[in-house]
Amino acid sequence: MATDNAFHVCVVGLGSMGMGAAQSCIAAGLRTFGADLNPKACETLKAAGAEAAGPDASIFADRLDAVLLLVVNAAQCKAVLFGENGLAAKLRPGTGIMVSATIAAADAKDIAAGLAQHGLLMLDAPVSGGAAKAATGEMTVMAAGSRESFNKLRPVLDAVAGKVYEVGEEIGQGATVKIIHQLLAGVHIAAGAEAMALAARAGIPLATMYEVVTNAAGNSWMFENRMKHVVDGDYAPKSAVDIFVKDLRLVAETALALNFPLPLASTAYTMFANASNAGYGKEDDAAVIKTFAGITLPGQKQEK
C-alpha cells in the first residue's frame, strides 16, 4: 500500500511512458505534478491523483524537489529547462533533474552545464521498458551522475524503476548506454519486420509465424512486442517510426564520432527513414514492415 510523503516531483511529458511514470510516482506516495501541452493527458493524471497538471510546470516550480523529463528529444529538454519561461531559473537550488529522454551525450553535458549555473542537480538517466513497464513502475534506468544527484532523485528512481544501473559519474555515459541499447532495439524491430514480411510473401500465416518465433530461439523482446502489432494489424503508435529515425540517427552520429562502423544499424536506419518517407512516420514503429512490396498484411486488402 502506498504511503504519503512530502517529496514533490513533476513529470514533464505525459506520453505513454511519462504517464506511466507519473502514475507510478503517485502510487509510491510522492506528491506528483504533471506538465504536458495535451489537456486530456493532464486531466487523466489529475484524475489519477496528481496534485496538479497543466501546460506550464513553472506554476508549481517552487514546490518541487525533483523534475523527471520524459520528452522526445534534446531540443524539447532544452526548451523546457532554458527556453522562454524556462523551468531551470524557477526551481529551488538543489532540486534534482532526471533527464530521461534519449539524447546524445554532448546534449546531456550541455544540459548539465546549464543546470549547474542554477545550482541544480542532474542525473543523465535514460529509460527503457515501454509503456507497460512504465505503468507498473518497473522501467530500466541507465543513469550517470554524482552521488548527490543519485541520492536526491532516489525517491523517483524507487518509484519508476525495476532496475537502476549506475553506469558512472560522468554525464553522458547514461545517454551513450541508451544509444547502444537503441541500436539493438532498432535492429531487432527491423529484422523482425523483414522476417515477417518474408513469411507473408511465402504464404505463412503471420499468427503462426509469430507463435513459432516467440517459442523458439529466434525470439527477442522487440520481436515479441512489436510483431504482435503486425499480427493484429494495429499500428496505433506506442513508439512511432519517427522515434527510431531519431534514435538510429543518434546511433550513427555516435559511431561517426568514434570512427566505428555499424553496418546493421545503418541498414536499420535506412529502413525506418524509408518508412517515414513513405508516410508511416507517425504510426507505430512496427509499421516499418509496410515498406515491403508484394505482400498483404493483416488488416490490408488483398493485392491483385
Cα 257 to Cα 113, 209, 269: the distances in Å are 21, 39, 17
CA 284 to chain centre: 13
Given a contact cutoff of 8 angstroms between Cβ atoms, the answer to whether 113 and 101 are in contact is: no
Compute the C-alpha angle 157/160/163, nearest 5°: 70
Q: How many CB atoms lie within 10 A of CB 246?
A: 19
Q: Alpha helices, DSSP H only, in 83-137?
A: 105-116, 130-135
**Which residue bears the cell 525533483?**
66
**CA-CA distance, 68 to 80, in Å (whole number)?**
11
Which residues are part of the catalytic machinery? 178
Q: Do the beta carbons of residue 130 and residue 225 sit within 8 Å?
A: yes
Nearest residue to 77 (alpha-carbon basis) of 60, 58, 97, 53: 97
